[in-house]
């Protein structure tokens, strides 16, 4: 075994992953330590079994959140951000948002400071998990949510504040727009550059992973210069950068008799509210979805519910320089230290991380073992209360049951 080394980015954006990569982790607050222990056990076992000891992750702990505050007096030390950037790939548990410490959210701060512009959430059904859908197995989608702008950018002013009054004055005198008295005001910036890099990463994901389409989800019929422009810039980047590997829905019927030419991904767009209906009624027609920040927040959680809830939903925040894989739920403080909760979300985020590193066989080993363990119906409390005939096990026991399923 060689010494631990950093993962590096090649000039074309691909990764150079050594056999013993250093991967920083943030354990997280609340239930973080429980689900991190379980996740580390499963990832290490999958790598060990898949590569027979030839590959091994060298974990590097970063004190962030409450641990960061205890050690450094800072919830999000700059050294931690530097370490993530230097090592390219990292994984994190949930973090408490410190109330009244001047931080809107540690998670949002990490995304913004590292310019992790794509929030990527795969949604796929795990057999035996109860779902409200008749055919949840038809759902196989990946949401690419823009992470840095839109109403989420946090540009807003409270009702009656000097700032809100100044903006209202400006709108009245310079733009001829009258707002209702004492309106709170939020700004929705959506830019061509940020849209294009997000949509390009969604198209690359579809091409590299055999997904048939990328749907641009927007509300452009009403918000023409933000959401409508998002769709136009999405089509534009497909034309500019992927002309020979994509085809629009319109071209498909005008030029190709409705048959997708081999090796091409279909680019289509749907109005947001209509897409919510479509993913319920005809889920097999959608695969990769690219969308602005706020729509992405809603559709990711709705889709997670369609396959059985947030407890098992994995996620990642990915930028050009680095990527952070994370549980999508919060710190569930009432379960802190009880070894009780479901570690599935962080474990499946770990599987995404292995895929991203090019260790796809190990990622598949994790997903297959999670599926096999759940089929045995020995699951954590959240699933046990929904699955008939299930036996409740602790977080650590669930992780051990997953490892036991690895061939």
Kindly list the catalytic residues. 152, 219, 273, 297
* Least distance between ligand NAP and beta carbon 60 (Å): 19
Does 131 interact with ligand NAP (rule: CB under 6 A)? no
Give the burial class of 396: count Cβ atoms within 10 A of its Cβ; 0-12 exposed, 13-18 middle, 19 or more buried.
middle
Closest CA to 370 of 401, 407, 349: 401
| Chain Cα centroid distance, residue 88 | 16
* Least distance between ligand NAP and beta carbon 342 (Å): 4
Does 94 interact with ligand NAP (rule: CB under 6 A)? yes
Residues 206-225 that bind ligand NAP (CB under 6 A): none
Q: Where are the beta strands (DSSP E) in 13-87?
A: 15-16, 22-26, 58-61
Residues 291-330 that bind ligand NAP (CB under 6 A): 311, 326, 329-330
* Least distance between ligand NAP and beta carbon 297 (Å): 11
Residue 15 contacts residue 29 (beta carbons within 8 Å): no
Residues 30-69 that bind ligand NAP (CB under 6 A): 31, 35
Does 107 interact with ligand NAP (rule: CB under 6 A)? yes
CA distances from 252 to 215, 287, 307 (A): 14, 17, 31
Per-residue string for binding with ligand NAP, 364-403, x by CB under 6 A? ------------------x---------------------
Does 97 interact with ligand NAP (rule: CB under 6 A)? yes
Would you tell me how many other CB atoms lie within 10 Å of the CB of residue 312? 23
Does 331 interact with ligand NAP (rule: CB under 6 A)? yes
Q: How many residues form the binding site for ligand NAP (CB under 6 A)?
A: 18
Name the DSSP class of 5: B
Does 120 interact with ligand NAP (rule: CB under 6 A)? no
State how far the Cα of 123 lies from the Cα of 212, in Å rounded to an integer: 15
What is the pairing mode between strands 140-146 and 118-124?
A: antiparallel
Nearer to ligand NAP, 237 or 370 (CB): 370
Binding site residues, ligand NAP, CB under 6 A:
31, 35, 94-97, 107, 311, 326, 329-333, 341-342, 345, 382
């Amino acid at each position: 075994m060689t010494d631990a080394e950093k993962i590096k980015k090649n000039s074309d954006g691909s990764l150079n992953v050594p056999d013993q990569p250093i991967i920083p982790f943030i354990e997280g607050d609340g239930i973080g330590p429980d689900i991190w222990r379980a996740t580390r056990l499963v990832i290490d076992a999958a790598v060990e079994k898949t590569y027979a000891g030839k590959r091994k992750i060298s974990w590097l702990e970063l004190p962030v959140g409450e641990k960061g505050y205890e050690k450094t007096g800072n919830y999000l030390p700059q050294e931690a951000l530097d370490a993530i950037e230097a090592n390219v790939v990292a994984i994190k548990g949930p973090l408490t948002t410190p109330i009244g410490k001047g931080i809107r959210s540690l998670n949002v701060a990490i995304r913004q400071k590292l310019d992790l512009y794509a929030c990527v959430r795969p949604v796929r059904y795990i057999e035996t998990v109860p779902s409200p859908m008749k055919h949840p197995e038809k759902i196989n989608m990946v949401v690419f949510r823009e992470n840095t702008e839109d109403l989420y950018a946090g540009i807003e002013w409270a009702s009656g504040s000097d700032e809100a009054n100044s903006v209202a004055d400006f709108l009245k005198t310079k733009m001829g727009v009258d707002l209702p008295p004492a309106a709170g005001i939020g700004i929705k910036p959506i830019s061509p550059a940020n849209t294009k890099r997000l949509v390009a990463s969604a198209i690359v994901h579809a091409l590299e992973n055999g997904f048939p389409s990328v749907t641009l989800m927007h509300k452009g019929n009403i918000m023409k210069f933000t959401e409508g422009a998002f769709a136009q810039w999405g089509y534009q980047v497909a034309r500019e950068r992927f002309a020979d590997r994509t085809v629009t829905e319109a071209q498909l019927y005008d030029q190709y008799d409705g048959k997708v030419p081999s090796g091409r991904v279909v680019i289509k767009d749907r109005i947001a509210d209509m897409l919510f209906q479509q993913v319920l009624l005809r889920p097999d027609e959608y695969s990769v979805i690219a969308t602005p920040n706020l729509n992405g927040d809603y559709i990711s959680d709705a889709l997670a519910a369609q396959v059985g809830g947030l407890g098992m939903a994995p996620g990642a925040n990915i930028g050009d320089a680095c990527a952070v894989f994370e549980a999508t739920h919060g710190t569930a403080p009432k379960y802190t230290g009880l070894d009780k909760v479901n570690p599935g979300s962080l474990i499946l985020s770990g599987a995404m991380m292995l895929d991203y590193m090019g260790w796809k066989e190990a990622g598949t080993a994790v997903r297959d073992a999670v599926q096999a363990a759940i089929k045995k119906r020995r699951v954590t409390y959240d699933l046990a209360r929904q699955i008939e005939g299930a036996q409740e096990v602790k977080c650590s026991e669930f992780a051990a049951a997953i490892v036991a399923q690895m061939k």
